[in-house]
Amino acid sequence: MEPGNISGRTLADRAFEWLEEAIIKGDYPPEFRLDEGALAKSFGISRGPVREAIRRLEGKKLVERVPHIGARVTSLTDSDLVELFFVREALEGMACRLATERMSDEDLQALSALLEGHASSGALKAGESYYQRPGDFDFHFRIIQGSRNPKLIAMLCDDLYHLLRIYRYRSSSRRGRASQALKEHRSIVKAMLARKPDLAEHEMRAHLQHARLAIQPPPKKNDPSVDD
């Protein structure tokens, strides 16, 4: 979506969608200050819809309020990020296991078709990144919903989902990672179609480990916990 071309639906909805995508893709990096006036001017709208969009982004934990600074893009420390990925690995691995058992054959075929749609992305073909639109267009979101487990869905789709999308996109932007991630997604679906929950969980956890390693900073040489 281009700034200044916001029409249809509500202005707040459109501003929210554009800001969300800009944050996910890193156009507005962590700690970037969101100036209501400047954003409203670039969109060609009043400040009210922009203010509402920023408020909604706060609710999704993509934006935080900082005293004397205002609204800015959420930032995580390296240790916070690694811990978040460990939690994701455990929870989403279980979600994949349950989805393998509970999703219908039609839903699994649709999941496979979704990947083929992703494969046609120009950015993915070029090896630049693997951007997935939110909700049902997101491979991981579909699997989590397919677990049919309300607790897992709440934790992964409400509490962690939007914040993790920033770092999932960053991981997929590393050289060679986008095509490898698609290959890993296909391995997950293959196990799910075969109705092998143990294998599906294993493939999902391996995929998430690779994503974590792609973004995890290398250990510092002076870290006493690192062996020489």
Q: What is the mean pLDDT of residues 208-212?
A: 87
pLDDT at 157: 84
Task: Domain 78-215: give its CATH code.
Answer: 1.20.120.530
226 vs 199, higher pLDDT? 199
pLDDT at 102: 98
pLDDT at 182: 85
pLDDT in tens, 152-171: 999 888 767 777 777 766 65
Task: Domain 11-73: give its CATH code.
Answer: 1.10.10.10
What pTM did the predictor assign?
A: 0.70
pLDDT in tens, 53-98: 999 999 888 899 999 899 999 887 778 878 888 898 999 999 999 9
Residue boundaries of the structural domains of the chain: 11-73, 78-215
pLDDT in tens, 16-25: 989 988 888 7
Q: What is the mean pLDDT of the chain?
A: 83
pLDDT in tens, 171-203: 555 666 777 888 999 999 999 999 999 999 999
Please check the confidence at residue 224 and state whether its pLDDT lies above 70: no
SS (H, E, C) the chain: CCCCCCCCCCHHHHHHHHHHHHHHCCCCCCCCECCHHHHHHHHCCCHHHHHHHHHHHHHCCCEEEECCCEEEECCCCHHHHHHHHHHHHHHHHHHHHHHHHHCCHHHHHHHHHHHHHHHCCHHHHCCCCCCCCCHHHCHHHHHHHHCCCHHHHHHHHHHCHHHHHHHHHHHHCCCCHHHHHHHHHHHHHHHHHCCCHHHHHHHHHHHHHHHHHHHCCCCCCCCCCCCC
